[in-house]
Structure formats: C-alpha cells, structure tokens
Structure 1
C-alpha cells in the first residue's frame, strides 16, 4: 500500500506504475488487483522497451490523499545456485561474449558513471585471480558477498541515489546504491549487467504469516533492488549484494532496466498550493502459503502470495529500500 497525503486537495497528473511482476519460467502471476483511490478516470497498460508492464492512470478529481494498493499472488519457483550452468568458454574469466549475443548485450555493458581515476575498476579487479584462472561464478559470488560483508546497510527514505564512487567511499548505502555499485563493477570487468526492482522475502521466515522482525532479509518491507548478470549457458542470473544472495531465492522481479531511473515503481505529478504535500508512506507484506511444505534443496520453493506496496515519488525518484 502506497499512500501520498496533502494538506489541501490537489489535482493529479498522469501516474505511471511498474507494479506487475514479470512472467518467467521461475515466477508466474496467478492473480493481481490494483486498487487506486481516488478512482482514476482511465487506466491503461503498456510494455516498455525492456518488456516491463506499466500501468498509466489519469485522474479527473482533486483529493487530499492518493493511495495505490497492489495485491499479487504468485507461484514463485526459484532455481538453485548449483544449477547455474555456464558454457565451457565462459567458466573461467576473462572471456568474450559470443558474436550472436554481443549486439544485444552492448548497452548493458556500457559504463554509465564517470570514474576518471578508475577507482571502481581497481575495486573490481581485487576479485580477479592474478594467475589468470578466475572462476566466473565464484568471482561474482565473492563480489556479492563482499558488499554484504564490508558495507553498512542504511535505509534512506529521501530521494536520490549515491554514485558508485560515493558508495565505495562511504562504505554504506541502500539496496539501490549497492546494486549500482555492483553493476558498474561487473561492467568494468566486461560483463553485461542490469538493474532489477522488485521484492525480497525470506522463504522460510514468512511461512506462518507476514514476516516477523528478525526473519526479514535486509531491504524487506519496501521495494528492493538487485543485479542481473548475463552468463552464457544460463542467461541472466540474479545477484543481491544487499543480502549476499546468488540466484533468485526470495527475490521477486518486477522491473528490469539498464539504469535504475528506468525502473521507478511509481512516478507522477500533482498540482496545488505550495507546501501542500505532507508525505508518503509504504508497506510491503509478503506471506508464503503455509499449506505448502517447504521443498528440499533440489525442489522448488512454495508459491508466495504477496500484498505488495510501492513507494514512488512525484519527482520520479527511485523507491527507498
């Protein structure tokens, strides 16, 4: 449930919502409901250039409150990390993507942040074996674990995202800061990487109902962000540096983009007297069906039902996490 509140009635411009999880072999949307108050005059759906589902709402009335309630039920069956199968030529770093894949991966390899002193490059190279025989998956897993271990997670509700250099210097940040640091680091090594916005949950800790304090993974209770890296043989593989997760265990994808500003959960405008805006509030609750037993390590995880809320801003800034 995402709620915006105002001191006086305001009018609302067009709002774009990226709330519908992406269909894939490991996650299937069983049911979805989007309830908006005040009721919009029109809601239309579209797919953006990267295949994300986007709802566009238009309004014709003023109000002191705007609420967006997204309720989802998914069959979530993440693959096991040991099932990541990498082509022989790519199992050891460095390698070059095939000529067939490269044209479609180039924009996801391009660096997007200025690094004149190549500090990100230097940090990324620490995970490369000087002998020239670096296991590709192990290297990426080590980088994921290092961010989780060496940086301090600090939730930040205000707008904006740190640059990768700032995150490296401060040694702290939010999930979106960590995601952008890792994206730039793996791109510095020649990998194709993308930003993912979605939800994180503990498949075991959420069985009896909404997640309890202590059972949540870091970044829960809000929208979450992580990284996808393209590995020949398995395609796009998830890496969550905030929680040290490799694979999609407990990660529900909603939007995928080359840059985080292409994956803002909610964006829109409002018009009214200056100072009318009071604030915004968000809650995300995820429950795993108790009737389905937790699978063994070789089996799929049980389906998850999600009551999901998203926290966007009227200035099109990324959601906090």
Structure 2
C-alpha cells in the first residue's frame, strides 16, 4: 500500500503589481476507501485576506481565496501526504445482468445517472457514435468489461499524446480526426463515446504516478485527466486512455465532474496594466516512499 507525497506549485508572474480577484483552488485529493489523506497543506503568497473551503455539487473539496493587496507574483503551493490503495482491472466485478452489452441501469440508479449519460458535444454526422459502436461485436456477445478495456487501450495505442498547456479541450470529433491530443482530450473523447453507448461517464482531474520502476506513465509533471464509468457491481470505475489503465493503479483523484470546466484545478482573475501578465509556471512532483516502491 503506497504512501505518497504530492507537491503541486503554481506561480503567476507580472511586470507590475496587480490586484487579484477571487481564486478557486481544487488540488486536495478526494478521500475515499482507496485514498486516505494523512496531511494536506496549502500555502498562498501573498497571503489571502480570506480563505475558506467548500464542497461543490460533486463533493470535490474547493478552496476559495480572496485578496486585499497587490503584488507582482501570485503563488500556490500544495503539499499532500497520503496513502493510496491501487486496484487494477481484476477488481472490476460486474453484476450478471450488465456483463454483456447492451444493458439497462437499475431503475433506482437511473435518476442519479442521467446527467452523466447526457451528451455534451454535438455529433450531427454521428462520427463519435460510429467510433464507439465499432467496439460492439455485432456477430457475437459483447463483454462489457472487455469492450471498455479495448476502447481504453485503442486510444493509448493509436493516438499520439501531444502536451498542450492552454486551458480547454478539443472536441471529440477533433481528437478523432487528428488522432492526437492531451490527456484531457482523450478523456473527453472516451467520456462522449461511453455516453454514446448509453453509459454514465464523468471527467476526472488528478495526478498520475508510476507504482513501480518498471511502469512508465504519460502525463506526469502536470495535472492528469481520465474517465470514470459507472458499472453495476463495481460503481464508478477508472479508465485512463492516455496510459491504457483500467482501475486506479497510479491514479490519484482530485476532482470528479460532469464536464471538464467543472474540474479546473485553479481559476481566478487579476486586474492591472495591460501586458502585465508574464506567464504561469506549474511544477508537480509525486514521490513514493522508498519502502513502497517495488522493482
């Protein structure tokens, strides 16, 4: 059971002193049976006049900072120490009625899943629909778990990962046409493909790490994005199409949302002379305790 230390630093720099509006910070991992916080510290420079924490509509922990002074630099430093319980695809247990696709969610679950099934992107030519349906076997039984694992691995294998530091995502159709994108783009594509098949899917923002020296991970050095899909019998299951991961092995959840814009790690505003903004730098490091890193 790995113990991790996650250091996440974000720095904004300005040529002249500027004032700051309200900032919302989502960097605190969600506590659950598979991830337990031991310590979490958030340092902000300059110190905010007021800092409070809330849980948003999805249960994510959000820090809200308000400022009363001007500065040429704004810095957010988060250090988290936690315990993580990785589980792979072997831990996915699906109810008998849902093991073969298609299936229908239970009546008591459907009202709460509907918004996560609704499509978020227009697909007038059914491009995403057709791609999603290509994973369904017409001539024989389609195994639900196998179908989703194959979709995850197909994106990892056939698409080219290209880092992009600007906010926002490509549309699923853009990602399919370009055959490349960031982890956010891949997550949105798989989320929409799952929804096209009538499955409930949510966007996840968090951190990725290598559980062992022999396992490389793409998407480190910045926040990472993947998908959760609701499967009867296992609940919300993690799928990371960037790395071809099924399950939470190497994945630390911070924010879960219906849409990527609801899971932005840091957002806010500033006011000052035009051209004052000289850029942003982000530094993220995930360290495993030496005695928890297998060879």
TM range (shorter): over 0.9
- Corresponding residue for residue 77 of structure 2: 69
| Other structure's SS at 2:290 match | coil
Kept in 2, the 8 Å contact 1:93–1:132? The answer is no
- Corresponding residue for residue 95 of structure 2: 87
Deviations 1:128-170 (A, max 9, x none): 0112510000000000000001100000112321000100111
Aligned residues: 287
Asked if residue 6 in structure 1 is aligned to residue 21 in structure 2, the reply is no
| 68, 73, 76: which one aligns with 1:60 | 68
Deviations 1:169-195 (A, max 9, x none): 111000000000000001000100000
- Corresponding residue for residue 276 of structure 1: 276
Unaligned runs of 5+ in 2: 1-8
Asked if residue 187 in structure 1 is aligned to residue 195 in structure 2, the reply is yes
Q: TM-score scaled to structure 2, two decimals?
A: 0.95
Asked if residue 226 in structure 1 is aligned to residue 214 in structure 2, the reply is no
RMSD (CA atoms): 1.3
Unaligned runs of 5+ in 1: 207-214, 296-321
| 107, 120, 140: which one aligns with 2:115 | 107
Kept in 2, the 8 Å contact 1:17–1:267? The answer is yes
Kept in 1, the 8 Å contact 2:211–2:293? The answer is no
Q: TM-score scaled to structure 1, two decimals?
A: 0.88
- Return structure 1 stretches of 4+ with deviation > 6 angstroms: none
| Between structures 1 and 2, the one with greater strand share | 2
Kept in 2, the 8 Å contact 1:226–1:238? The answer is yes
**CA distance in 2: counterparts of 1:289 and 1:234, whole angstroms:** 29
Asked if residue 145 in structure 1 is aligned to residue 163 in structure 2, the reply is no
| Other structure's SS at 2:86 match | coil
CA drift of 1:79 comes to 1.9
Deviations 1:38-62 (A, max 9, x none): 0111100000001000000011111
Matches within 5 A, 1:44-55: 44-55=52-63
| Other structure's SS at 2:39 match | strand
- Corresponding residue for residue 305 of structure 1: none
